[in-house]
Chain A
Amino acid sequence: MLRDLARRYWRTLTRPSAYYSLGFLVVSGFVAGVVFWGAFNTGMEFTNTEQFCIGCHEMRDNVYQEIQPTIHFTNRSGVRAKCSDCHVPKDWTHKMARKMQASKEVWGFIFGTINTREKFVAKRRELAEREWARMKANDSLECRNCHEFMSMDFTRQGKRAADAHSTSLASGKATCIDCHKGIAHRLPDMSKP
């Protein structure tokens, strides 16, 4: 009976349609594709929102609290960075890879890897090191999405900043994250090497 049903549907799928025109099938497939891609990207955008990130208390109670007093959240001009601006690559391939990587964060959420402040603080160094390594590897790409080296006016920077930017940063010897660690969230305990 089931075999029969499967065979009948397989036949329906593999022979030309008797009741639906080629035009209808092609156009409906095209429209469905457009609708799907729109929905897919909307869903993808939603996972980039702050509201989504702080939906779990690990983010809301730790890193989200810490960023609020920093200049990346509150400042005179009202331009601010949200989680995904720094933590999700913009390039499509790397974005998809990062989204899949986030499945590990879902795992951590389910099993409560950092579900208390103590656990979070204990793991902070490891988490931070991972983000630093990523930014070091991509030449602080997420910083540079907003901060453009070519547009920096050294005369409007402090002497210490201008000295560092015009030498190490300009020559490519150092990248943003080499100096600017712990600017958006508190630094981990760095006493151990």
Chain B
Amino acid sequence: MEDQKQRRTEEFRSWLFLTAIMAPVLAVLAVSGYGFVVWMWQTFIGGPPHY
């Protein structure tokens, strides 16, 4: 019984951590990483393209 309660708590905390912290942080890191790569690309390989 105690074990089931613990499992429930751990599942809830894991869910909260994934949705509220890990996913948003990863998304922000991915977007800023992408922006950074484009910036470095523009700096060293070819500046803002014609379009």
Chain A interfacial positions (CB closer than 8 Å to B): 8-9, 12-13, 17-20, 25, 28-29, 32-33, 36, 40, 89, 91, 93-94, 96-101, 133-134, 137-139, 141
Contact = CB atoms under 8 A, between A and B. Distances in A.
A137 B27 contact: no
Per DSSP, chain B at the interface is helix
Per DSSP, chain A at the interface is helix
Interface of B: 7-8, 10-15, 18-20, 23-24, 27-28, 31-32, 34-36, 38-39, 42, 47-51
A20 B42 contact: no
Contacts of B34: 93, 96
Given A134-B48, A137-B48, A99 B35 contact: yes
A19 B7 contact: yes
A12 B27 contact: no
A93 B42 CA distance: 12
Given A18-B11, A20-B15, A139 B50 contact: yes
Contacts of A99: 32, 35
A138 B49 contact: yes
Contact of A8 (B10, B15, B24, B31): B10
A95 B7 CA distance: 44
A97 B14 contact: no
A20 B48 contact: no
